[in-house]
């Protein structure tokens, strides 16, 4: 379940080194503090009901998967970082139907196994711009795998950095590649003990139109694209004031696109 290059070797991901150093310190960042609000919103907007099975792609240390597990959902979390997967397993809620697997989101092997998929906080989608294979669009590969993992009628919630916001508020340590839509940030990360090391982060940024087109090309019906901030998920039209977009999409039934399973409500906006 890992991406293999033309030479037959596994293609690594730059984020693995970052995650290995961060460890549990990842959960000290402010953007991780709104987990419960995000999950409450997603349970409502995706129409999740008891008994559904959820895949968390790019789960990190498992905060969203844990929150869903505490609410009674069966969750499988996947992440390319062995360190993050170990932390997710270690801190899983007692009695929750939550499991974790180390996997490369660019080469998921699930087939119609999940009622819903989430991929949040750039846990996988949008993070391959600095180390992708030349012949492959890594974000399209992630979305293709997500679409395959969904059962017909299943729903996706995926967050992505806003290209509008990134360019508008470009930081001094950032370099934005307009041709590829990739932001390169020179920063530093600290581990649990406070030891700091330099780090390079590459994040692909998107417009709402790009997200809709990518979803459609992967066989998903794009229901909504909303502007959101971590910890402040809401039904909000796309704008240039918020750092992320939240794509909500549905895998088509064989008889037509965009229909949801019986009893699963659609959001009002």
Per the DSSP assignment, residues forming a β-bridge with 200 are: 186
- What CATH number corresponds to the domain at position 119? 3.40.50.150
Residues making up the chain, counted from first to last: 269
pLDDT one-digit tens code per residue, 169-184: 999 999 999 999 999 9
- Residue 2 placed within a domain: no
pLDDT one-digit tens code per residue, 141-179: 999 999 999 999 999 999 999 999 999 999 999 999 999
Residue 261 has pLDDT above 50, yes or no: no
User: 262-266: which pairs have CB atoms within 8 A and are 24 or more residues apart?
Assistant: 263/47, 263/49, 264/46, 264/47, 264/49, 264/153, 264/155, 265/47, 266/47, 266/223
- Residue 92 placed within a domain: yes
Burial of 75 (C-beta count, 10 Å sphere; 0-12/13-18/19+): buried
Give the number of domains in the chain.
Answer: 1
Residue 120 has pLDDT above 90, yes or no: yes
Q: What is the pTM of this model?
A: 0.86
Residue 135 has pLDDT above 60, yes or no: no
- Residue 238 placed within a domain: yes
- Residue 179 placed within a domain: no
**What is the domain range of residue 232?**
15-161+205-251
- Residue 119 placed within a domain: yes
- Residue 148 to residue 18: CA distance in whole angstroms: 29
The CB density around residue 44, as the number of other CB atoms within 10 Å, is 12
């Amino acid at each position: 379940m890992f991406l293999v290059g033309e030479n037959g070797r596994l293609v690594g991901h730059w984020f693995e080194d970052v995650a290995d150093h961060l460890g549990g310190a990842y959960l000290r960042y402010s953007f991780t503090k709104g987990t419960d609000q995000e999950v409450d919103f997603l349970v409502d907007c995706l129409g999740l009901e008891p008994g559904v099975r959820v895949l968390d792609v790019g789960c990190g240390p498992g905060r969203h998967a844990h929150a869903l597990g505490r609410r009674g959902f069966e969750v499988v979390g996947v992440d390319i970082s062995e360190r993050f997967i170990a932390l997710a397993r270690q801190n899983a809620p007692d009695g929750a139907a939550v499991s974790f697997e180390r996997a490369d989101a660019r080469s998921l092997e699930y087939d119609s196994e999940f009622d819903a998929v989430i991929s949040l906080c750039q846990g996988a989608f949008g993070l391959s711009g600095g180390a992708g294979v030349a012949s492959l669009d890594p974000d399209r590969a992630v979305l293709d795998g997500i679409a395959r993992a969904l059962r017909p009628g299943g729903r996706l919630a995926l967050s992505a950095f806003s290209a509008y916001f990134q360019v508008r508020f470009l930081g001094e340590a950032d370099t934005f590649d307009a041709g590829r839509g990739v932001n390169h940030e020179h920063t530093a990360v600290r581990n649990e003990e406070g030891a700091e090391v330099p780090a390079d982060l590459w994040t692909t940024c998107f417009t709402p139109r790009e997200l809709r087109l990518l979803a459609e090309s992967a066989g998903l019906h794009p229901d909504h694209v909303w502007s959101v901030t971590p910890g402040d998920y809401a039904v909000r039209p796309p704008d240039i004031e918020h750092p992320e977009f939240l794509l909500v999409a549905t895998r088509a039934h064989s008889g037509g696109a965009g229909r949801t399973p019986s009893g699963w409500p659609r959001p009002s906006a």
